[in-house]
Amino acid sequence: MIKNQKFITNAADLPECIGDLSAVKDALYAIGGKWKLPILMALFGGNQRFNELLRGVIGISSKILSNELKDLEENGFIQRKVIESYPLVVEYELKPYSYTLLDVVIALSEWGLMHREKLKNEFSS
């Protein structure tokens, strides 16, 4: 069910604090772009190997996935975990800091569902 009723649709109902512009820019700088959040969301379900991520994050190329994983690792969102076996297995694992993104992910997910519904209605009417 789409919770349309929770969305404010006019200026009069705006809360006094509508967020800090530079903080939003900082957030977009760290986790904006097309791929970082989808990669982290795939890992919310549990550790994954490179090829599992490549299949799970539809549309990403091997080169971009590799770069994004390095970025996410450098910025403390994930870590590479080497499992001693033969052959060696490398998994990617969320670090606790990634869980701080949960509210962002949920807000984007709810908005995305609502937006998709809107586009569907416009297309069918």
- List residues binding a second copy (CB under 8 A): 6-11, 13-15, 17-34, 37-38, 41-42, 44, 94, 96-97, 99-116, 118
Q: How far is the CB of 86 from a second copy (least distance, A)?
A: 29
Residue 88 vs 103, nearer CB to a second copy = 103
Burial of 53 (0-12, 13-18, 19+ CB in 10 A): buried
End-to-end CA distance of the chain: 20
Q: How far is the CB of 100 from a second copy (least distance, A)?
A: 4
Residue 22 vs 85, nearer CB to a second copy = 22
In angstroms, the CA 38 to CA 43 distance is 9
Q: What are the distances in angstroms from CA 24 to CA 18, 29, 104, 106?
A: 11, 8, 11, 16
Q: How far is the CB of 72 from a second copy (least distance, A)?
A: 14
Q: How far is the CB of 7 from a second copy (least distance, A)?
A: 4
| φ, ψ for residue 86, nearest 5 deg | -125, 115
Residue 20 vs 70, nearer CB to a second copy = 20
